[in-house]
Structure 1
């Protein structure tokens, strides 16, 4: 657990963004399922929230691209988000989509929108401060991914 604490002490906003992204995966999955039972067109936002959870999971845990059978097109899509600014952009887009769910019905999907926005802000701050993107070793970053290959 020493590396986990060291990562947070590094003051690199990309690490904060990555761990907020992991929280987004959990929240989007749970709230996507919870809101899918509405008999209203907010179901579309719930389904999108579930899809977002899996997209974020592959973006934030690079180890999964090596161990899960995925298509070349999907891999290329996920690899686009290797910089702080691109990650900030995808999180911002996903957040805006969940904010738009308010149009359909005010639900707990707002929590997903807020946490996605926080992740976008962390990645944007990392980009603005010129911090290099660093993958968390705990989530299958540099060290773990090379051990598998």
Structure 2
């Protein structure tokens, strides 16, 4: 049985959120690159989505903080985003910002915003249920997450 299917059975919403976070990263990178070729104000939202996706990589895969050379300030910022409440707030802010791109020009960036809001919802449910954050085994597991913090 795969680690992913085992994790689904745990009913821990922080695990669901982490997998939705990985989907947010993939959508952020793909849609940010795809929409950056618009020659209008949508470029701004695309660039911000790409930056958000890069930050999310370090939030959701903490092992990368050990591997990639980053500044001490960046590491300290990422280490502050450890609770389910903090992650829910971060994803909600990013998701709302991307959905606001529809005010200017409806585009596929809305899909990234919707997935980010779904991720925020899962993190918020985990926080309200007092479920501890549990890192996915496929992404390094709890041992790696504790080693980083």
Runs of 4+ that moved beyond 4 A: 144-147
Corresponding position of 1:67:
67
TM-score of the superposition, structure 2-length normalised?
A: 0.94
1:45-64 equivalent positions in 2, closer than 5 A: 45-64=45-64
Kept in 2: contact 1:137–1:143 (CA 8 A): no
**Offset of residue 7 of structure 1:** 1.1
Over residues 99-119 of structure 1, what are the superposed CA-to-partner deviations in whole Å (9 max), with x where a residue is unaligned?
A: 111122110000001000000
**Offset of residue 8 of structure 1:** 1.1
Distance of 2:104 and 2:39 partners within structure 1: 11
Partner SS, residue 138 of structure 1 = helix
Cα RMSD (Å) of the superposition?
1.7
Corresponding position of 2:13:
13
Over residues 78-101 of structure 1, what are the superposed CA-to-partner deviations in whole Å (9 max), with x where a residue is unaligned?
A: 111100000000000000110111
**Offset of residue 66 of structure 1:** 0.8
In structure 1, the gaps of 5 or more residues are none
Distance 1:90 1:145, change over 3 A: closer
**Offset of residue 143 of structure 1:** 3.7
